[in-house]
């Protein structure tokens, strides 16, 4: 990571970052990444409609420009318009009157989301911006933001610092607490996973079936339970968590509670079972709309059975309720004006037969 030095700050000359807030915190694009047993979450940065970077360059001429940037969603409520789809970075230039003239998109919001590097910082890349006339290869503008963890307030910068802008690329560095990894504390015995930054437990016991789940592939049939044994099935073992029951008269135990493990792997929470030479890998993915777990067979490879589960049980809580709602007919309802800065709304039931004594 580049050190922040007086020379570096001089290059940015009078650069000022400001931001506006929005109550609409819907995440349209990936905003966090799981790396091993750590979570990197940029939702704090995404809570802004945009970040505004203003730069004054003393190059013999008095010139100034503005860059608008947003994370995990397209730019919102920006005072200028940059043409393009899902614009995440927009660059403008001020004319003699102080008005801003759009220079074009400098990159779209990342559909991949943040990426953790081997060095331990987070990269967020805005690609496929407007066509760049500075290139002879029909290139488009691209913006890189390198986010490094600020361990304390003193080392945190107010916003990204422009490191370089050669040709068709813009590179920023930002030392921020939002880029600090948070360790996900996993307790195998209780079958819970805690995100310490949210102080919230993902309790997998809610996925435990009273008896078991039936899972099948084109060649095999299985009985599975999560965070508990298969009950009343064909396994014949009190600790069995998954069995191959393709032949009900000769069931094969594939995993037990004693061989259970929980860990993060990319963006999935992995529940593993083992028994002798057999193993089971259950990949749990967040799906908020799932009222019951959706279990799919993935593969059976070298005595390892892999399953995929989509469930709301592994989703962290929303940071804020959704206040801008769109129905299936395209009507948009904005309830943000009902928010009270102080106190709460009170409802009084004045019906004669519903009075409270």
**CATH number, domain with residue 307:** 2.70.130.10
Residue 276, in any domain of the structure? yes
- Both 201 and 282 in one domain: the answer is yes
Contact at 8 Å (CB) between 87 and 112?
Answer: no
Residues 140 and 198 in one domain: no
Q: Are residues 225 and 284 in the same domain?
A: yes
pLDDT, residue 108, reads 93
* Angle (nearest 5°) at CA 185 between 125 and 110: 10
Same domain for 143 and 251?
Answer: no
138 lies in a domain? Answer: yes
Specify the higher pLDDT residue, 319 or 41.
Answer: 41
Q: What pLDDT is stored for residue 355 in this prediction?
A: 46
Query: Which pLDDT belongs to residue 113?
Result: 87
In 3D space, the residue among 255, 259, 267, 279 whose CA is nearest the CA of residue 310 turns out to be 267
| pLDDT digit string, tens, across residues 26-47 | 445 888 887 766 788 888 899 8
Is beta strand 278-286 parallel, antiparallel or unpaired with respect to 304-311? parallel
3-state secondary structure (DSSP) of residue 338 = helix
Q: What does the pLDDT read at residue 14?
A: 40
Helix, strand, or coil (residue 336)? helix
Q: Concatenated DSSP letters for 176-211?
A: EGGG--EEEEEETTTTEEEETTTTEEEEGGGG--SS
- pLDDT number for residue 31: 87
Cβ atoms of 42 and 71 closer than 8 Å: yes
Does the structure show a pLDDT above 80 at 335?
no
Domain with 289 in it = 183-314
Domain co-membership, 129 together with 254: no
Split into its structural domains, the chain has a count of 2
Residue with tokens 């807030």, as numbered in its chain = 21
Q: Percent of the chain, pLDDT > 70? A: 74
> Which pLDDT score is estimated for 145?
94
Grade residue 327 by pLDDT with cuts at 50, 70 and 90.
low
**What does the alpha-carbon distance between residue 196 and residue 179 come to, in Å, rounded to a whole number?**
15
3-state secondary structure of 36: coil
For residues 201 and 172, membership in a common domain is answered with no
CA distances from 18 to 49, 52, 79, 352 (A): 11, 5, 13, 54
Low-confidence winner among 123-132, 238-247, 254-263, 317-326 (lowest mean pLDDT): 317-326
Q: How far apart are CA 264 and CA 70, in angstroms?
A: 28
Q: Are residues 156 and 249 in the same domain?
A: no
pLDDT digits (tens, 9 = 90+) for 87-112: 999 998 887 777 888 889 999 999 88
pLDDT digits (tens, 9 = 90+) for 110-128: 988 898 888 778 999 999 9
pLDDT of 298 higher than 60: yes
Better-predicted residue by pLDDT, 317 or 301: 301
Closest among 246, 244, 245 to 254, alpha carbons compared: 244
Q: Does residue 227 sit in the same domain as residue 168?
A: no
Q: How far is CA 228 from CA 205, 251, 256, 264, in A?
A: 8, 18, 9, 20
pTM score? 0.54
Q: How confident is the model at residue 323 (pLDDT cuts 50, 70, 90)?
A: low
Same domain, 170 and 191: no
Contact 289, 312 (CB under 8 A): yes
Q: Is residue 348 part of a domain?
A: no
60 with 38, same domain: the answer is yes
| pLDDT above 50 (res 2) | no
Q: Angle at Cα 308 formed by Cα 316 and Cα 26, nearest 5°?
A: 30
Greatest CA span in the chain, whole angstroms?
88
């Amino acid at each position: 990571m580049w050190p922040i030095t007086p020379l570096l700050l001089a290059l940015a000359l009078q650069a000022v970052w400001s931001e506006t807030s929005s109550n609409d915190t819907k995440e349209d694009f990936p905003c966090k990444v799981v790396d091993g047993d750590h979570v990197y979450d940029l939702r704090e940065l995404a809570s802004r409609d945009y970040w505004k970077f203003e730069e004054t360059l003393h190059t013999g001429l008095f010139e100034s420009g503005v860059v608008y940037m947003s994370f995990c969603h397209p730019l919102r409520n920006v005072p200028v318009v940059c043409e393009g789809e899902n614009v995440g970075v927009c660059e403008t230039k001020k004319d003699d009157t102080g008005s801003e003239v759009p220079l074009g998109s400098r990159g779209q919001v990342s559909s991949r989301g943040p990426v953790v590097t081997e060095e331990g910082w987070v990269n967020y890349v805005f690609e496929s911006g407007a066509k760049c006339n500075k290139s002879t290869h029909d290139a488009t503008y691209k913006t890189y933001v390198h986010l490094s963890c600020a361990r304390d307030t003193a080392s945190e910068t107010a916003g990204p610092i422009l490191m370089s802008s050669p040709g068709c690329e813009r590179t920023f560095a930002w030392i921020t607490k939002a880029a600090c990894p948070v360790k996900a504390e996993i307790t195998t015995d209780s079958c819970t996973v805690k995100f310490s930054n949210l102080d919230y437990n993902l309790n997998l016991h809610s996925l435990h079936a009273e008896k078991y789940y039936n899972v099948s592939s084109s060649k095999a049939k299985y009985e599975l339970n999560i965070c508990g044994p298969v009950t009343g099935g064909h396994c014949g073992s009190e600790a069995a968590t998954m069995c191959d029951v393709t032949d009900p008269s000769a069931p094969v135990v594939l995993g037990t509670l004693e061989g259970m493990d929980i860990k993060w792997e990319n963006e999935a929470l992995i529940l593993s079972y083992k028994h002798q030479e057999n193993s089971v890998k259950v990949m749990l993915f967040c799906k908020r709309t799932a009222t019951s777990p959706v279990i799919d067979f993935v593969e059976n490879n070298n005595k390892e059975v892999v399953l995929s589960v989509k469930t709301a049980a592994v989703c962290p809580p929303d940071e804020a309720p959704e206040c801008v709602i769109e129905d299936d007919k395209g009507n948009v309802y904005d309830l943000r004006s009902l928010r009270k800065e102080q106190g709460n709304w009170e409802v009084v039931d004045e019906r004669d037969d519903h009075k409270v004594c």
